[in-house]
Each structure stands twice: as C-alpha cells, then as structure tokens.
Amino acid sequence: MGSFEIKSLTFSYPESERPALDHIDMTVRDGEFVLICGCSGCGKSTLLRHLKTVLTPHGKREGEILFDGKPLEKADLYTQSSKIGYVLQNPENQIVTDKVWHELAFGLESLGWPSETIRLRVAEMASFFGIQNWFLKNVTELSGGQKQLLNLASVMAMQPSVLILDEPTSQLDPIAASEFLETVKKINRELGTTVLLSEHRLDEILPVADRVAVLDQGKLVCYDTPKKVGNFLKNQAHEMFSAMPAPVQIYAGVPNDLECPLTVRDGRNWLNRLFSGKKVSNTEPEQKSVCFSEETVIQMKDVWFKYEKNGADVVSDLSLCVRKGEWYSIVGGNGTGKTTTLNLLSRIILPYRGKILLNGRDLAKYTDKELFTKNLGVLPQNPQALFVKKTVEMDFLEMLSGTKLSEAEKLQKVREAAKLVDMTPFMQMHPYDLSGGEQQRAALGKVLLLEPKILLLDEPTKGIDGHFKTKLAAVLKKLQQTGVTIVMVSHDIEFCAKYADTCAMFFNGNIVASGPTGSFFSGNSFYTTAANRMSRHLFPHAVTNEDVILLCQKNR
Amino acid sequence: MRDVFSSFHPIVNFIYFVLVIMCSMFFMHPVFLGISLCSAILYSIYLNGIRAIKFNFLFMLPVLLLFAALNPLFNHEGATVLFHIQNNPITAEALIYGLAAAAMFVSVIIWFSCYNVVMTSDKFIFLFGRVIPALSLVLSMVLRLIPRLKAQIHMISNAQKCVGQDATNGNMLQRVKNGLKILSVLVTWAFENAIDTADSMKSRGYGLKGRTSFSNYRFDRRDGLAMGFILFFFLPVIFGALTGENNIIYFPSVLVKPLSAVSLIVYIAYGGLCLLPLIFNILEDIKWARLRSRV
C-alpha cells in the first residue's frame, strides 16, 4: 500500500509552449524514500502536484499515474485525502485554524470521524511528534519550525500511506530544518510510510534517500541511488551538481577512483585514504585579497535594546564596526538578536542605551530622506513586502516618482537597475509570479534605485536554490566593487564562507567572535562549513569546497 | 492563578453567566444588587488580580458615583423631598434609585469582564459550532487570520519605511497615498497566500460530506453536578421573583416586602448563586490542602 507508477506523463500549462513535464516515467515502491531535486522551475512541484488529484494544476496532460496499481483518478476524494498526505512549502499558509489541537483534528473532521476516534488519533500524533507541550497553544505562538512540524503532524494524523513534501524546509533555519527532516526520516523508518520529498538543500537528506530523481526542464534526467546520481551529475557536468553535498563536490573536483562519499564522516575517510602514506606539505589555502578601506562607516557603541521595559534584553552591550566597502556578515542561531540588530541599523527600532554612528554621525539625527536616499538601503527578509505594483517595471518606476527626473531618464535608470540585478527579461511580469530567487533580485533592484552606499540584507538566501544564490552573489560582488558596503544577516554558513569578507558570530544579543572569514570559520569546530569539518585534520584553514579541492590537487 | 470554574464544560459556564447577568439586570432590590455587585467584584479580583482592582476602583467606582449623583438632578419624582436646587426638588427616592441603577449597571459590566476571561474563544466557538457547524470553522479561521494580517501589515510598513514610503513619511497627501498603497499590498498578499491555505484544506479532505466537529470538551459527571448546584441555587431565586420577594417599588416611595424567613432563604440562595465560582475555587483549594497533607 503506497506505491506510485508514473507512465509517460507529459503536462503543459495553458498558453505555454514548453511542456512543464516531459515524458516522465518513474515508479515509487511501497515504503521507499525518494528525493526529487532540480533547479527552481524544473517541474518538481508540478510533478508532485500530479500525485494528488485535488492539487493537480489545470493544463494539457497525457500519460497515466497509477496509485497502488489503479489509476489515480479512480481513487475517490476520501481515499486520496486520507492515503496521500501532502505538505507544502510555506509553514504559515497551510495552517487553517487558530489552535494547535484544532489543526491536528482538521483532516479527521473532514473525513467525518467520531470525536472518540479523533481524540485517540490526535493524542497519538501529539505524542509521536512531541507536541504535547504546545498542544493547547495558539498557532501564532509557535516558531516557524514548530509550525511546519504541526503541518506534518496534522497530515500524519490521517495515517497516510504516502507522504509527499514539496520543499518543506525552504523557509526554515538550518536547525529547525534538520529537526524536521529527522522527523520525516523517522516516519519513513518507523512507520514504513512512502516518502516523496523535493528539496534543494541536499546535504542532510541525500545520504538517507533510497533513490534520487533529478529533473531538468521537465525531463527526468536521472533516477537512481544517491551515489550513482552523484557520479552521473559529475560526468555530465550538470548544473544541479552545485547542489550536491560538499563531500560529493570535493570528491568530483579531485581525480580519483575511490568510492563517492556522501556524509562528512565518509568524506574524512575518503581524504585519509586519498592521502594514505603520502606526506601532506601544502596545507594553507590562498589568502583572499582584501579590497575594503580602513574608513569606518557603521559603528555601534555599547548598544542595548529590549522590546518592553520589563522584558529581557534582545541586544545587549553590542559593539561593532563595519568599514567602507566591506561585506560584513552576521551568523548565529535563531532568536539571538541578529534581525533586531539589522532593525536597529535601519532605525525601525531605537536602542535604549548606547550609540549608533553612520559615517561618524548619530543615526538618530538623520532625517528620513537623508537616511534612505543615496545612503542606506534595506532589503527585507520577505521581498514580497516591497512590491506595490502590477509589473516589476512599474514597481521600479514607483521608486523614482518623488524625483525630478524626466520620463526618459527614469526609464533609463530603471533599465540600468534591471540589468544590474539581471532582471531584464522579467520586467513586464507581476512580482508575485516570479520565483523566490527572482523576487529577491527584483526587490534588490528596487532598493538599488535609491543608490544606497550601505546595503542591509536580512537572510537574502532564504528559500532560494544554489543557482540563484550564485546569481545573487554575483550581483552583490559587482556592487561591492563600486564601493557599496554590505551588512548581511544569514543562517547560510556556506554562502557567508564563500563570499563575505568578515564574519561575526551572534549569541545572546551580542557578538562573541568576529574576524576575517577564513580564520573565523577555521577557528570554530561546530559552527563551520562542511568542507572545513571534513578536511580540518589535514587542511585546518580550508573553508570552502574550492579551497579543499585546490589543496587536494596541489598535494597529489 | 488558575480558576476552577473555567475548567467546567463551556455550556455550564455559559448558562451560569446568562443566569447571573439576567438576574443582575432584572432584580433592582438593594439586597440583590449588593450581593451581585460584591460577588462580581470578588470574582473579577480572583480572576484578574491587581488589574481588576485597578479597573474596579479607577473606572467603576466613579461611574457608580456619577450615576447616583446625576439621577436626582434630572429625576424629581418621589415623596421625600430633601432640598431644592433652583426650585427643583431633590428627592431621597431618586437618589436611592440612581444608586440602585448605577449598581446594576456596574455589576453587569463587571460580570461581563469575568465572562470574557472564562469564556475563551475556544469555548465560544465550541458552543456555537454545535448550533451551526460551519460557523465554528469560520470563526476559528478568522481568529487565525487577524493576527497574521496584523503581523504582515507591520512587516510591509517596516519595509516601506526603509524605502521612504511608509504612512509616516512625507506630507499629509503623501502619507494617505502611502497608507493606501500598504493596504493594497496587504490585500494582494492575503489573496496570494489564501491559495495555499485553500490547497492545504482541499488536500486534507475539506469538502467531503459529513464533516464532524471535534472538541476537547466532554460533559462529565462533575459538569452535571455543577449544573445541579446552579439550579439548586437558582430555583429559590425564581420562586422569590414569582412571590414578589425580589421586587421593589421606588416611586413615589420605596416599598419592599418585609424581611421574613422566606425572603432570607431567597437572599441566601442568590448569594450562593453569585458566589458559586468562588465556592468551587475554595472547595478545590481545601481539597488540595487536604491531599497534600496526606502525602
């Protein structure tokens, strides 16, 4: 119970030339854990949505899907609702009711079960997922990770035989994401539920998947065990390869005929075998050239902040100093005050003690106009909050509405900004129709029209895949070269390690350590990149995949 | 502090408040008013602590005195004239009536403040979901949506502030324009996200026939017993109302039935009814003290 057979499925959206799915053939066996990966817009979601009739998008469709040997359309709504569980991407949007217990019972109520049975099921699920402690709470009191766990639990309460998850962790921070994936693994292992999961952060989930399907422009290019898929992508030099876990990428960058490692532990063993009997002499990665000046643009001096007079301090005794043209990134766990610090810098909130200086002048003394035009640009965590018009172009023009430029000059400026953020082909689209990475860049372009000298970014890589991350980084690097200072808050260690000049670790409302990226990460033993964790016994200062690959090649 | 009365079945809570608030409104007899007012104040303090004390003394007491003082200025009925203000007689009856009406008004307000604490949205939804099942889901969804919209508008406003386009930026016209823009973003956002919610509902079988309504509440023996107590105290009060024990005539002169054994019983019953939540709490405290001493 719980198998799928997809036979030559082709699907195209209305008014679209290219099929979104192109002759997909795949089988999912009962109890299997299948991972589906691919770039944004490759058809992952479209494929998954076809596996449940009520969610299937409208369009032209050929081919057949069998669920437990029978055509899927033949299974009635009741069977599909209870047997095929579906968890969507956004934790907030999926929650329907205001109480945790009510949400858990929602599906069972729909199925029309009596109260006694629902009570038992709900109790079972709450215990299995460790929800007892927040069972009676309002859903607004939960964290993002808890919300997604609640969504999973309320689907599991209906005891489905197949669980489908569409990028369930893209909106979660790394700790919450790994906790969530751990639970999914547990469901697969202990309940034998078939799992189909699409994901772009593969580090953790790839090693446990039974089979991996790689989609590219609607085609199934590869469907095999993780190791074989790694090999395949490497041989094809496929774009998706950049999403593979660090050990796989490093393995691929070094010519060798050993077995492909998937986890950090395997990667260490692989390195040991690679260098067994050889002397490793060259252990220092190349130093990044530092291109920022010594001039200070942002300075925080003993800053304290709390939301209520009797509340706890969110930011306490914080001092930091950012220099002109620097890419400064703040990393650290959830709720340590990172975003609050960014809000302090953008003057959305004010400190109750201490001083913030911008270009040597007190931040509180700036007028709004002085502060936000040609000075400070802020990119919010959710780019959707910035869009106000029907098309991206109109949205961009909106930013210039207060200036005295002529129409032609405005258009010229908008075009330049669009080019800078690589959005030229999308200017006539509705901002909400763009994918996450494109929205992020559109919002950035909008902010850039105010010609900021300092850019504040709040988790710019949240929910976007490797391809878009690279694009975003290229845009930001370009800006940095024109002298723009970047202050970024992020959970994405790999991204910070690759691009930032300086990293600072936030803990308990304060910076506990900071330094140039390379020495910062190689000094940490847990809070560091996978490449560093895997290779630190040989190359203690190598931080990025490229560092390790280069050192491996040098030492052979 | 945890209130024991709140832990009873919602129907018990609801019936109790309906009865007590009705009684407080209809019985203008000073003894009844006094009992109701005192019990309401005590219970509200028990529920809300220092906040209730502040509320009762800073707001309710002035209201009570104001009402009592205003009535004789406008109402000149009554037989006992105390003195004249600009040829208008001020009567003792009007003064007493004003005081009584004010006490009634204030006690009802305080009872409602208790009702608000005890009858949480959960309970309300449960009760009315029984009558109209679809309504209970709608109410629950609305309660989910409101805080989300509030958080979202805050987020949009912050984002717009940082590009100089918040409702706090610019001149009056600019502000209005920016405010409307934020609202339009909010609406777009809400519709966009509602699609996800609809998908999530459909995928969990919403729309199938024969939807049931689950609740955490069960009417058990304890609830039955509590209902019994409520009736036990309420019946004598009704009896009193029928025989005129609870009635009072204020004009032209104050007239009440003389105190008798029957009226005493009715008073005690009413006191019991009004103090019932506190009695439950005290009984529970005693039970706990005893349980602990036995360990």
Q: Is the pLDDT of residue A158 over 60?
A: yes
Query: What pLDDT does A319 receive?
Result: 92
Q: If you write DSSP's letter for every residue of A77-101 in order, what string do you get?
A: HHHHHHHEEEE-S-HHHH--SSBHH
Instruction: Please say whether the beta carbons of A445 and A417 come within 8 A.
Output: yes
Region of residue A474 (phi > 0: left; psi between -120 and 50: alpha; otherwise: beta): alpha
Region of residue B164 (phi > 0: left; psi between -120 and 50: alpha; otherwise: beta): left
How far apart are alpha carbons B63 and B71 in whole angstroms?
Answer: 12
Q: Is the pLDDT of residue A490 over 70?
A: yes
How far apart are alpha carbons A236 and A252 in whole angstroms?
Answer: 11
By the CB < 8 Å criterion, does B215 face chain A? yes
What's CA A10's distance to the chain center, in Å?
29
Residues of A in contact with B196 (CB under 8 A): 88, 90, 93-94
Tokens standing for A396? 């961009």
Give the tens place of pLDDT for each residue, B228-265. 999 999 999 999 999 888 888 888 888 888 888 889 99
Residues of A in contact with B143 (CB under 8 A): 98
B45 phi, psi to nearest 5 deg: -65, -40
Strands (E), chain B: 81-85, 88-91, 248-249, 255-256
Give the residue-averaged pLDDT of A1-18: 89
How far apart are alpha carbons B73 and B55 in whole angstroms?
Answer: 27
By the CB < 8 Å criterion, does A112 face chain B? yes
**Closest CA of chain B from A458, distance in Å:** 11
Do the Cβ atoms of B200 and A369 come within 8 Å?
no
Do the Cβ atoms of B196 and A90 come within 8 Å?
yes
Chain B residues 185-214 with a CB less than 8 Å from chain A: 185, 188-189, 192-193, 196-197, 199-214
Structural domains for chain A? 4-239 (3.40.50.300), 245-279+529-556 (no CATH), 296-528 (3.40.50.300)
**Closest CA of chain B from A20, distance in Å:** 20
Using CB atoms, pick whichever of B143, B203, B205 lies closest to residue A55.
Answer: B203
How far from A414 is each of A98, A349, A445, A447, A473, CA to CA, in Å? 43, 31, 9, 11, 21
Instruction: Please say whether the beta carbons of A348 and A380 come within 8 A.
Output: no
Q: Find the residue in A nearest to B168 (Cα).
A: A368
By the CB < 8 Å criterion, does A342 face chain B? no
Q: Where are the alpha helices (DSSP H) in A160-304?
A: 174-186, 226-236, 246-253, 264-274
Give the tens place of pLDDT for each residue, A397-436. 988 887 788 888 889 999 999 988 888 888 998 998 888 8
Give the tens place of pLDDT for each residue, A174-186. 888 889 999 999 9
Do the Cβ atoms of A112 and B148 come within 8 Å?
no
What's CA A222's distance to the chain center, in Å?
24
Strands (E), A310-349: 315-323, 327-332
**Residue where the block lists tokens 């719980």:** A2
Give the tens place of pLDDT for each residue, B85-123. 888 888 888 888 999 999 999 999 999 999 998 988 778
How far apart are alpha carbons A552 and A533 in whole angstroms?
Answer: 15
How far apart are alpha carbons A5 and A261 in whole angstroms?
Answer: 30
Give the tens place of pLDDT for each residue, A501-556. 999 999 888 999 898 988 898 888 888 898 999 988 888 888 899 889 988 888 87
How far apart are alpha carbons A59 and A82 in whole angstroms?
Answer: 26
Instruction: Please say whether the beta carbons of A1 and A31 come within 8 A.
Output: no
Query: What pLDDT does B244 receive?
Result: 85
Q: What is the DSSP letter of B29?
A: -
Do the Cβ atoms of A388 and B208 come within 8 Å?
no
Give the tens place of pLDDT for each residue, B15-70. 999 999 999 999 999 999 999 999 999 999 999 888 888 888 898 889 888 988 88
**Closest CA of chain B from A120, distance in Å:** 11
Characterize B213-237 residue by residue with b for buried, 16 or more Cβ atoms within 10 angstroms of its Cβ, and e for exposed: bbbbeeeeeebeebbebbeebbebb
The confidence band for B1, taking pLDDT boundaries of 50, 70 and 90, is: low
How far from B190 is each of A166, A429, B149, CA to CA, in Å? 21, 19, 8
How far apart are alpha carbons A333 and A508 in whole angstroms?
Answer: 9
Instruction: Please say whether the beta carbons of A351 and B167 come within 8 A.
Output: no
By the CB < 8 Å criterion, does B144 face chain A? yes
Tokens standing for B232? 């036990």
Do the Cβ atoms of A385 and B159 come within 8 Å?
yes
**Closest CA of chain B from A214, distance in Å:** 25
